[in-house]
Structure 1
Amino acid sequence: MLEQFLNHIHQHTLCRKDDCILLAVSGGIDSMVMLHLFQQAGFSIAIAHCNFQLRGKDADGDEDFVKTVAAQQNIPCFTTRFDTAAYAEVHKLSIQMAARELRYRWFNEVVTHQGFTKLATAHHLNDSLETVLLHWVHGASLDGFAGIPVKHSNIIRPLLFASREAIEQYAKAHNIAWREDSSNQTDDYQRNYIRHKIIPALKELNPSLEYTIQRSFGKVAGELALLHRGLEAWTDQYVTVLHDRITIDKAYFQGATHEASVLWNFLKEYGFNYDVCMDIVASLHGQSGKRFYSSTHQLVNDREHLLVTKQVNGWENARIEKDQQQATFGIWNMTILPSAVVQKSSQVYEATLDAAKIIFPLVWRKWKAGDAFYPLGMQHRKKVSDFLIDNKVSVADKDTVTVLESQGEIIWVAGHRIDNRYRITETTREVITFRVSPHFPQ
């Protein structure tokens, strides 16, 4: 196994002899075999151990065992303890995710402050197989079928070539002591269920399952490389980025196939999930102006483009003075255009009103419960909330609906309907056109 270990390191350029490597050692069989192999290979190493305080005396026993091994072999050893359960509760995480966040944050601190060049973890081939099966169960994309990466930044995984069985055989052949984690023998966690139930069943179909999957990782890696190259070419052809504004040409979607998947592969970087991308594609031929949101960004389905920007949080009421030509409010820009040419507008995002009836300053604000106006063509008041329901405005879009007021009266539900009292009539001599469009912060 030592020769395979060194070949794996060389093949993937994981580390050099002059690297100073921090080993994440739990005390379990995998990390103890990794420690032994690094020692046999003559690398400069140190040990890092986390006590997550989840298994009482067993966890303390693991910590004592690792400290003892380090002392006996004169290896520098760093240890820490976490209140993992409390951290998980405060941050609304599963225990597994909390432990992951805590340990990698601490590992990074030790690597940085102590001058290590690499962090080595003891993930092996079966860990990678289990990860792929978990991704498959939860509907991952192709990225999820490439297995655990051999290296990422300064993190290396020098045991990914070895199966769990091979590691056990090596440990026994070299009389390597380790601590058994009792939680690995239960079916409480999804990974353990796959380990103890699913993989044994699959191995009845293919006894060489691990190594078959290992070869497939190489195939998937090549397919991913082609996918990323294709996405780069697609981006070059259809995407324009200017400051924080991203413009996607809708011409691509004419006659294309698997549009949602292509769009998601680009937009996932901005927090959009696949379901939202399906909704975006479904809306492409509908009314322009529809908005979609991720946790950090918004996407507007414009006439010829999809427009992506960071979300804007500024929603304080905007005051518009006479002769003012531009205004910004939240995610919207407004252009104000007085004119002596009396001409009605048919554009959804434009309102052309009788200038004589408008008293400045105007207030531009979000609509609120209780707001009412006289929709164009109607002689009675209607609540804005009812108007939005009748016009099937989605819950997400309602949050960005704004109104323009003159002396406390709504003259326009922006982008939807003007007030009937401010419409152009036969006596109108001058008009003011208000036009709204998406606001893209620089």
Structure 2
Amino acid sequence: MTTEYTITEDILFTNFIRSKPNISDKTITHYKAALIKFYKATHEQLGTVIANCKNQQDRVTEKIIFQGEDAEGNQIVEKQIINFDLNSPESYINIYINTFINYCKETKIKTNTINGYLTMVCAVLSFYSVKIPEIEKYSRTTPKWNLLSKEDFKFVMNDGSVLYASLIKFLISTGMRLSDALSLSIGDFMNATKEYHDFVDVEDFIENAPSDMIGYWKFHPHKTQRFNIECQTFNDPESSNLILQNLRKLKNEYYPRKNRKNGLDLKPSKEDALFGSQKAYFKRNLTQDSVSDTLYKKNKKLRQHHIKLIDEKIANGELSAEDREKMIEKIPKFHAHSCRKFFSTMIAKNCGNLRICAILEGHTTPMKTDSSYVKIGYDELKEAYMSALPDLSLETTEVKIYTSEIREEMENKIEDLRKENEDYKKKVDYLIDEISDIKKVYH
């Protein structure tokens, strides 16, 4: 195994990418991820895999199907040419594919992702004339899952950096998929919270943005872009506060320290990743693989924490030792998608409108005609989100739900007060002029 092997430097990979002039950067990234994992699973470079498969698939054997003599005593031999059976379990291609699937299963990659990776690997091999056997889509029984509690989320957020705490809380409060959250920039966050500020300069925003902002996000999720499904969701005050805490730490502590130490001129910009990687001075986004690895470690710690609590209950006589294994089976698993499941559960609990739930979650609308006949506005979406906010918040939160009618009433009162203030100002100005005239007379 060559540890220095890099798929992006393999001429076979680069030639394959060049053969697709309209391929997007995102698709190229997916191909890289699939082939990196394929290499990790098989321990063989792309050229070796292709050579082994082609040499074997081109192999033919002869089988004698009849041997005897004719009437004149001449020997007769009839042979059959047999091509190699690609579907044989012993074929290189099947061994590679099964090894790859097993590796993906062991590293907890999701079913749909495994099938996507498999399709991409086979596309590259087919491009180099490797014959692909009949492959059934990999599937597995969906395991039962238990919803994480607020205490579970607090535990995993407290075990690590402010960056990861802000990312986890953002996922909980928006219901975004990890891929969508990791594509966001600081400028996107500024735009999402513009209702609360008028900052243009990114450093002014980081330093002076108000607390407890609720961000509004309108986008097409990466996963469902081809279906033109739009998602409109919000992030809660807790996540905004954590994001600002992380950005202020970068601006006031991390960048000055790096600049002094390395003679750099680092400073935040709108194009910087909202959830950045330390390897790139927090300028570029964290990768899904690095986040998944970190959350996997957090899940292990959470499981150990739950087992410790179970054992303490057994020791205190609150739980029978016979029930230990059953309780361990019920321990919830923490990963990025568990944040989305928590969000969807709380939205469904507090909002009876399936159409609104679908929009907030970025799912297909329950009625195919909705896009043509039903228009749900910002106010309705925010009211639904605000109703779920106490359940989405990890700390005790008292939420005043402002309906569109209440908001309009308050805006009218503000306008009346503004006009009243203008009248008072005119009266004050008049009195000031009167006093000035009187002074002139007596002087």
Per the shorter chain, which TM-score range? Answer: under 0.3
Q: Provide the TM-score with structure 1 as the length reference.
A: 0.24
Greater fraction of residues in strand: 1
Q: Compute the TM-score of the two structures, normalised by the length of structure 2.
A: 0.24
